């Protein structure tokens, strides 16, 4: 896998790690990095062995400190719009990758970095992580989904505050606000992420995929339609061998062995 700005590795069977690898610039997201994230995402989508993706930043300082300011500095309005549209498209494709994706936030998680983390299924963070949407300090708005995903996660008032003050919040405060699920000491962050990934790959892949899809599609629907979607997903699982295996294993008091069909 030939990348310049990211690393993609299989840590253990089925568990992949994508690392934004520009530590000298706090893993700032330039156009090439965004394109490589898309390429990695597509590789995983095409790989039936891929079961969980962990996403992190290289080094001990940053997950990603935002879109690359040096690269954006002289962009025209049209170039800015195109960069935003590309980022939005790539992050949405990451969000809808049919396997669980966990953001493992190991430092600054700002602007486009925070928007990248929010495109994952959930976020875990180290104690030294900081979150924020500081675009207003640069005279721009968030451009990779911050004005839309943040209010869905932490509510309107808190989003208004973060985006209008540019204030950074600590990992603990981000957890308090519902942006982060768990906070760990920096040295144990990746091991905790791996523990979770190892647990997830024991579950039925079809059930995981349908659960994720139903949550993502349902959150922007009215409740009746969203619940109808859920019952269809539930029904569909009964056509799988995994459902028979999962329920038989429970009744026979043994561990289930799922095969994703």
The set of catalytic residues is 115, 135
User: Quick one: DSSP state of residue 99?
Assistant: S
Among positions 14, 57, 111, 205, the unique one binding ligand CAA when judged by CB under 6 A? 111
The strand pairing partners of 126, in sequence order, are: 184
Measure the CA–CA gap between 229 and 240, rounded to whole angstroms: 18
Q: Which of 91, 108, 131, 258 binds ligand CAA (CB under 6 A)?
A: 108
Q: Which stretch binds ligand CAA (CB under 6 A): 2-10, 33-41, 143-151, 244-252?
A: 143-151
Report the alpha-carbon distance of residue 117 to residue 112 in Å, rounded.
Answer: 9
- Using CB under 6 A as the criterion, what x/- string covers residues 70-99 for binding ligand CAA? x----------------x------------
**C-beta separation of 148 from 119 below 8 A:** no
Residues 14, 142, 204, 205: which binds ligand CAA (CB under 6 A)? 142
Strands 182-184 and 122-126: parallel
Task: For the segment 33-72, give every residue that binds ligand CAA (CB under 6 A).
Answer: 65-70
Q: Are 29 and 64 in contact (CB under 8 A)?
A: yes
Size of the site for ligand CAA (CB under 6 A): 23
Site mask for ligand CAA (CB under 6 A), range 150-179, x = bound = ------------------------------
Instruction: Tell me the longest C-alpha to C-alpha distance in the chain.
Output: 65
> Residues 113, 117, 119, CA angle at the centre, nearest 5°?
115
Nearer to ligand CAA, 52 or 114 (CB): 114
C-alpha 188/C-alpha 177 separation (Å) is 22
Of 16, 144, 184, 258, the one binding ligand CAA by CB under 6 A? 144
Candidates 218, 55, 203, 41; CA nearest to 121 is: 55
CB closer to ligand CAA out of 144 and 177: 144
Least distance (Å) from ligand CAA to the CB of residue 71? 7
Query: Got the DSSP string for 22-40?
Result: -GGGTT-B-HHHHHHHHHH
- Judged by CB, which is closer to ligand CAA: 121, or 135? 135
Residues 219-248 that bind ligand CAA (CB under 6 A): none
Element (H, E) at 251: helix 241-251
138 binds ligand CAA (CB under 6 A): yes
Rule CB under 6 A: which residues touch ligand CAA?
25-26, 28, 65-70, 87, 108, 110-112, 115, 134-135, 137-138, 142-144, 146
């Amino acid at each position: 896998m030939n990348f310049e700005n990211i690393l993609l590795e299989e840590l253990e069977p089925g568990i992949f790690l994508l690392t934004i690898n520009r530590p000298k610039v706090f893993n700032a997201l330039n156009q090439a990095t965004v394109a490589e994230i898309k390429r990695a995402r597509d590789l995983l989508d095409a790989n039936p062995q891929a079961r969980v993706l962990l996403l992190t930043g290289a080094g001990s300082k940053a997950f990603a400190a935002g879109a690359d300011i040096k690269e954006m500095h002289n962009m025209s309005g049209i170039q800015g719009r195109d960069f935003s549209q590309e980022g939005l498209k790539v992050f949405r494709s990451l969000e809808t990758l049919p396997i669980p994706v966990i953001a493992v936030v190991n430092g600054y998680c700002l602007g486009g970095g925070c928007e990248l983390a929010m495109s994952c299924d959930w976020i875990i963070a180290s104690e030294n992580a900081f979150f924020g949407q500081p675009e207003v300090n640069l005279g721009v708005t968030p451009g990779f989904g911050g004005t839309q995903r943040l209010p869905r996660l932490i509510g309107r008032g808190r989003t208004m505050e973060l985006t209008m003050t540019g204030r950074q919040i600590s990992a603990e405060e981000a957890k308090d606000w519902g942006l982060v699920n768990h906070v760990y000491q920096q040295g144990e962050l990746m091991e905790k992420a791996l523990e979770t990934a190892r647990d997830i790959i024991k579950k039925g892949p079809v059930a995981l995929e349908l659960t994720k899809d139903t949550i993502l599609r349902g959150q922007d629907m009215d409740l009746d339609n969203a619940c109808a979607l859920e019952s269809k997903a539930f029904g569909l699982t009964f056509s799988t061998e995994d459902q028979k295996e999962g329920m038989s294993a429970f009744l026979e008091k043994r561990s289930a062995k799922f095969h994703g069909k």
